[in-house]
Amino acid sequence: MIHKDVLAVVENVRIRQMRGGTVVTHAALTALRSTSLDSTVTSPEEFVSYIEENARYLRRIRAASIPLTNGLRYVVSEVQQAANKGASVEELKRVVSDSAIGFDRKLEESIRQIAEIGARRLKTGDVMVTHSYSSSVMAILKKAHQQGKRLKVFVTETRPELEGQDVARELAAEGIDTTLIIDSAVSHFIEDSDKVMVGAEAVAANGAIVNKIGTAMIAAVAQRARVRVFVAASTYKFSPETMFGELIEIEERPSSYVLNDTELNQPNLKVRNPAFDVTPPQDIDLIITERGVIPPQAAIMVVREQKGPLIFTSHEPGLEQFLGKADSK
């Protein structure tokens, strides 16, 4: 049975009330905590199955989101291990709560560290381009501004869901010189820019990133213009599966985000609406993580520390086992 809070989170993401992988991960872990606290099952075996079922459902929110997968995997693994040691249902509920809160805190701390490291890469007068909503990018830009660095930021609308409008409002409210532009105007403004900075839903072993559709085009335009491309992503977004040949799934969203049903009701007309694209490593200069700045070619070293092919199943290792040094900081 799927808990009401889990259903609500999935629906909120579906109708785009939540933006950014970190925000979605937090919401999913909060819903899993509610699922646990409200559970009325009496046996540890039933409880574990119930948590696994709801975690699998939450995983459907965003197939490309590696922090979401890693957060859910961590909680499920901790519960499984505690149950195997003979924990009671009440003890297992505490495990769910503690592990969900713990992962959330680690993710938040990674963003704080990324902000500190990333802000050092910016200087007064920098003209930036950003695309889509990224908690890490927003943290970097705000931190640099708080340090007294005067920036100018071009923010793409990020069609078709227009989350760039939220980014522009938030940066402007912070006091940052912000200009909202249409996505296709990037090539017009890139010559006046110093850096492109984007987030990522996932980082592959070869240094490629999965991010909101349009990122690959912007990165390619930037490279041709000799403008550096920075990616802000915690190590929780690095995908161990990609080292073993797994591809990160690219979600397609409803055609109604592009055309309404009346406009679509025409013969020979269809709409494709992929949510993300893949930016190749050769179009990326640096990846800013909580552990420091690395070239995309070094992503494999992070992934190698993440032990085992981590397919999202009911029997998989916990986060502590595969994050290695990144998690011990």
**What is the pLDDT, as a whole number, of residue 256?**
87
The radius of gyration of the chain from alpha carbons, rounded to an integer in Å, stands at 20
Residues 153 and 294 in one domain: yes
Residue 152 belongs to domain with CATH number: 3.40.50.10470
Residues 282 and 316 in one domain: no
Residues 83 and 120 in one domain: no
Q: Specify the range with the lowest mean pLDDT, choosing from 116-120, 127-131, 196-200, 241-245.
A: 241-245
Q: How much is the pTM?
A: 0.84
Percentage of residues in the chain having pLDDT higher than 90: 66
Mean pLDDT to the nearest integer, 259-277: 87
Query: Which of 51, 57, 31, 34 is closest to 92 using CA atoms?
Result: 51
Say whether pLDDT at 25 is over 60.
Answer: yes
Residues 12 and 118 in one domain: no
**What is the pLDDT, as a whole number, of residue 160?**
93
Q: Specify the range with the lowest mean pLDDT, choosing from 99-103, 136-140, 265-269, 303-307.
A: 303-307
Query: Which of 2, 76, 104 is closest to 10 using CA atoms?
Result: 2
| pLDDT, tens only, 176-190 | 999 999 999 999 999
Mean pLDDT to the nearest integer, 279-303: 95
Question: Which residues does 40 contact at the CB level (< 8 Å), separation at least 6?
Answer: none
Residues 73 and 194 in one domain: no
Say whether pLDDT at 195 is over 70.
Answer: yes
**What is the pLDDT, as a whole number, of residue 317?**
35
Percentage of residues in the chain having pLDDT higher than 70: 90
Residues 162 and 280 in one domain: yes
Q: Where does the pLDDT of residue 15 fall: very low under 50, low under 70, confident under 90, or very high at 90 and above?
A: low
Say whether pLDDT at 314 is over 50.
Answer: no
Question: Which residues does 5 contact at the CB level (< 8 Å), separation at least 6?
Answer: 30, 31, 34, 35
Residues 123 and 263 in one domain: yes
Whether the CB-CB separation of 219 and 284 falls below 8 Å is answered with yes
What's the token pair of residue 263? 């406009």
Average pLDDT for the chain: 88
Q: Where does the pLDDT of residue 59 fall: very low under 50, low under 70, confident under 90, or very high at 90 and above?
A: confident
Residues 156 and 205 in one domain: yes
Residues 148 and 289 in one domain: yes
**Host domain of residue 42:** 4-112+307-328
Residues 282 and 140 in one domain: yes
Say whether pLDDT at 326 is over 60.
Answer: no
Residues 81 and 21 in one domain: yes
Residues 211 and 263 in one domain: yes
> How many domains does the chain contain in total?
2
Residue 324 belongs to domain with CATH number: 1.20.120.420
| pLDDT, tens only, 96-153 | 999 999 999 999 999 999 999 999 999 999 999 999 999 999 999 999 999 999 999 9
**What is the pLDDT, as a whole number, of residue 260?**
86
Say whether pLDDT at 320 is over 70.
Answer: no
Mean pLDDT to the nearest integer, 271-294: 96
HEC per residue, the chain: CCCHHHHHHHHHHHCCCCCCHHHHHHHHHHHHHHHHHHCCCCCHHHHHHHHHHHHHHHHCCCCCCHHHHHHHHHHHHHHHHHHHCCCCHHHHHHHHHHHHHHHHHHHHHHHHHHHHHHHCCCCCCCEEEECCCCHHHHHHHHHHHHCCCCCEEEEECCCCCCHHHHHHHHHHHCCCEEEEECHHHHHHHHHHCCEEEECCCEECCCCCEEEECCHHHHHHHHHHCCCEEEEECCHHHECHHHHHCCCCCCCECCHHHCCCHHHHCCCCCCCCCECEEEECHHHCCEEEECCEEECHHHHHHHHHCCCCCCCCCCCCCCHHHHHCHHHHC
